[in-house]
Amino acid sequence: MRRVRIKDDALEQRIYFQRSLIAVGIVAGIALLLSGRAFWLQVAQYEHYLKLSQGNRARIEPLPPNRGIIFDRAGRVIAENTPAYQLEILRERAGNLEETLSRLARFGLLEASDVGRVRQLVLARRSFEAVPFLLQLDDQEIARYAVHRHELPGVLLETRMARHYPYGTVGAHAIGYVGTISEEDMQRVDRQRYFGTGVIGKTGVERAYEDELLGAGGYREVLVNAEGRPVRLAGGPDQQLRTREPLAGDDMHMTIDIELQRVAEEAFAGRRGGVVAIDPANGDVLVFASLPSFDPNGFARGISRSYYLALTENPDQPLFNRVLRGTYPPGSTVKPMMALAGLEYEVVRPEDQVHCLGSYSLPGSRHRFRDWKREGHGTVDMRRAVMQSCDIYFYRLANTLGIQRIHDAMAHMGFGQPTGIDIAGERGGIMPSPAWKKTAFGTAAQQVWFPGETVIVGIGQGYWTATLLQLAKATALLSTRGRHYRPRLVQALADPKTGAVTDNPPEALEPLVLNQPENWEVIVDAMVAVTTGGTAARAARGAAYSIAGKTGTAQVFSIGQTEKYNEKEVAERLRDHALFVAFAPADDPKLAVAVLVENGGAGSAVAAPIARAIFDAYLVQDAPP
C-alpha cells in the first residue's frame, strides 16, 4: 500500500519564522559590526587616520643640508657647493624598477655597467625615499631626460647643491672627495641623517671629518596630485603641511697652502711620486701631494664604473695615496739620523775618520758591500761622510751600533709607526729588528737575523721602509732639535650660522732629549754642508736662505756582487727612487720637506730641485705664487 504525506502548514510556518529571525539577526549583527567599525575609524581613530590621509595627498621632499665649505690656510675656497641638477628615483612611484632602470640605460642616462649598483642602492633605501643616482647633469643629459620623462615614472629631476673642487687635481689626496653613497656606506651610517643626501665623504678630510661637514637634513611636505606632481592650493599654503629646515655642516679651515701645493705638483713635471711639507713649529702640513693625482669633481658627479676602472687599472695608480700608504726604503736620507744615534750611544765621535776605498766587508766575510761611488771617498769624518753620502762610513757605523740600538734610536724618531695624522689610511712602514723578523717570517731559518742585514739598514735599505710623512716628520724633529708635533691637516671648524670656531690645536709630542745636546748642531752642520758643498749643492745654489738637507736613492731591486748598475739599461720602473729631505732656513726653520720621485734616479738631480721650488715659493717674499 502506498503512503501519502500530509502537508503540515504550521510546521513550515514555524521553520520559516525561525530562519527569518536568524537572517535578521545576522544582518543586524553585520550592520552593528559595520557601524562599530565606522565609529572606530571615523571617531575614535580620527586623528590617526587624518595623519594617514594627509600622507596620501602629501609627499615628503628631503631638504639636504649644505655641506661645509673647505678653505685652505689663507682662506681660499678649495671645496664648495654649487647648484646643479640631479636625477633621483622614488621607488614607490617607479612601478617596475627593472623596466625603469633598463630605460635609463637605453636613453643614455645610466651606463649598463652601473645598473646593478643603482638597483642595490635603491633597494637599500626606503620606498618613499628619493635616491640620487646621477649628479650634476649637463645640458645634453637634461634634454634627454626632458624628452623621455613620460617614460620614466618615479624618476625625478631635482635641483640640489653639489660638491665642487675649484682647484681640480691640486691637493686631491689631502682634501679627498665625496661620492655616491653605496650600500656598504648605508650599513655604517645613521640612515636618518642621510635622508635625501646622495653623497658621502670617501677619502681625505672629506671622510675623516664627515660628521662635522655633513650637517643635518630637513624635509618639507608638498601637496601632490594623483600623478605625484606638486600642486598649489587656491587658498594658499596648507597650514597642516610641515617643514623642517636643514642645518648646514661646519666649515673647515685646513693647514694646506693650496698655491704652495700647486707649485709642488707642477715641479714634478709629470713624474710619479710625492712630497710633504710641514711647519716644524706646530705640525701643520702645508703640502701634501701624491702624484699623479685625480680630479675629485668626477667622483662628486657620480663616477661611472668604466671611468673608475680606467683609474684603478692605470699603471701610474692616480688613486693611490703615496704620502700615506706608499712605503719606500728611506735610503741615504736617514744617514744624519744614523750619525746622531752613533753620537748618542757614544760609539763614534765627529772627528773620527774612516778610509773609504769603495767597499766594505764584515770581519771573516768575503762579501763586499759597495759604496755608490765605486772608487770610494778617501778619508772621511762624520761631517764629510754626511756631506758626500759615504756608504762605507755608515756600513761601519751600523755594524758598530748593532740592529737593536738602531731600531730603538729610529723608533724614537717616529719610524715603524704611524704619525697619527688626522685622516685615515696611514701605514706605519717597517723599522726592522730581530723581534720583528721573528713575527714577519714563518720558518726558524728565515727568522734568524744576520749581521749583513744590519749593515744595509745603516744606509736605509734592506727591510727598512718608511712613508714620506714619516720622513718629513723626522726631518722636522731634526730642525727643531728634538721638539715635534703630530702632523695635522685641519686647523679649525666653524659653525656657518653662529660663527663659533672649534680649534684643532697642535698636539705636541714627547720631545727627543739628547744626552749631549750639542750633537744636534753637529748633525745640522753636516746637513748644511750637503747643500753648500755636497751632493745637493747644485740644487741649493743661489738660495737667499740656508738649507739643511740630505739626498738619497732607494734601490728597487738588488744588484749582484759583480754587476754594475747602469740606469740607461734598466727598465724605467726598475730604476732607483730619488729622495731628498731638508729644512730651511737652517738656523730658524720655517718648513721641513720630504720629496720622493719614483724611479727618478739620483735624489740630488731630481728630488732636490722640487724641494728648492717649494722653499723659494714659501720663503722668498717676491717669489711668484
Write out the H or E segment, with its range, that includes residue 490: strand 490-494
Q: Give the model confidence (pLDDT) of 167-219 as tens digits.
A: 999 999 999 999 888 778 877 878 778 877 778 999 999 999 999 999 888 87
Phi first, then psi: give them for residue 177, nearest 5 degrees. -155, 160
Paired with 379 in beta bridges are 355
Strands 218-223 and 199-201: unpaired
Q: Residue 271 in 3-state DSSP?
A: coil
More confident call, 170 vs 21: 170
CB atoms within 10 A of CB 591: 26
Q: What is the pLDDT of residue 245?
A: 83
Lowest average pLDDT, out of 196-200, 336-340, 578-582, goes to: 196-200
Q: Please compute the mean of the pLDDT values over residues 46-53 and round it to a whole number.
A: 61
Q: Of the candidates 189, 141, 136, which has an alpha carbon nearest to the alpha carbon of residue 162?
A: 136
Q: What per-residue confidence (pLDDT) applies to 625?
A: 44
The whole-number pLDDT of residue 386 equals: 96
69 phi, psi to nearest 5 deg: -80, 145
- In this predicted structure, the answer to whether residue 362 has a pLDDT above a threshold of 60 is yes
Region of poorest pLDDT, from 165-179, 312-326, 569-583: 569-583
- pLDDT of res. 624: 45
Q: What is the mean pLDDT of the chain?
A: 87
- Output the pLDDT for position 244: 80
> How would DSSP label each residue in 24-67?
HHHHHHHHHHHHHHHHIIIIITHHHHHHHHHHHHEEEEEEPPPP
Judged against a pLDDT cut of 80, whether residue 53 lies above it is answered with: no
Residue-level pLDDT at 565: 47
Q: What share of the chain is helix, strand, coil (3-state, %, to 5)?
A: 40, 20, 40
Query: What pLDDT, on the 0 to 100 scale, is given for residue 155?
Result: 87
The pLDDT assigned to 31 comes to: 87
Share of the chain above pLDDT 70, in %: 90
pLDDT in tens, 81-121: 998 888 888 887 787 888 888 888 888 888 887 788 888 87
Model confidence band, residue 1 (pLDDT cutoffs 50, 70, 90)? low
Mean pLDDT, residues 377-402: 96
Per residue in 248-280, pLDDT (tens digit) is: 999 999 999 999 999 999 999 999 999 999 999
CA distance between the termini of the chain = 132
The torsion of the CA quartet 519, 525, 529, 531, rounded to 10 degrees, works out to 110
Determine whether 234 is exposed, middle or buried from the number of CB atoms within 10 Å of its CB (0-12, 13-18, 19+): exposed
Q: What is the pLDDT, as a whole number, of residue 567? A: 55
Average pLDDT over residues 458-474: 96
pLDDT confidence band for 494 (50 / 70 / 90): very high
Cα dist from 496 to 93, 250, 490, 560, whole Å:
36, 6, 17, 62
What mean pLDDT comes out for the span 59-74?
87
Closest to 428 (Cα-Cα) out of 439, 420, 438: 420
pLDDT, residue 372, reads 86
Domains and CATH numbers, the chain: 59-233+240-254 (3.90.1310.10), 325-481+517-619 (3.40.710.10)
Across the chain, how many H-helices and E-strands are there? Answer: 22, 21
Higher-confidence position of 280 and 221: 280
Q: What is the pLDDT, as a whole number, of residue 464?
A: 96
pLDDT score for 234: 47
Q: Residue 319 pLDDT more than 90?
A: yes
pLDDT at position 224, please? 65
**Structure confidence at residue 623 (pLDDT):** 46
User: Please, are residues 309 and 365 in contact by the beta-carbon 8 Å criterion?
Assistant: no
CB distance 110 to 135 below 8 Å: no
State residue 62's pLDDT score.
76
Summarize pLDDT for 117-162 with one digit per residue, the tens.
888 878 877 777 777 877 778 888 889 888 888 888 888 888 888 8
pLDDT at 86: 82
**Residue 321: alpha-carbon gap to chain centroid:** 8
Predicted pLDDT of residue 569: 55
332 is catalytic: yes
Helices 603-619/258-267 angle, 10° precision: 160
Question: Mean of the pLDDT values across residues 508-531?
Answer: 96
| pLDDT above 80 for 11 | no
Say whether pLDDT at 286 is over 90: yes
Q: Which three cell numbers stand for residue 412?
A: 724614537
With a pLDDT cut of 90, the percent of the chain lying above it is 56
**Statement: residue 568 has pLDDT above 90:** no
Catalytic one of 332, 389, 433, 479: 332
Query: Is a pLDDT exceeding 80 seen at residue 58?
Result: no
Statement: residue 4 has pLDDT above 60: no
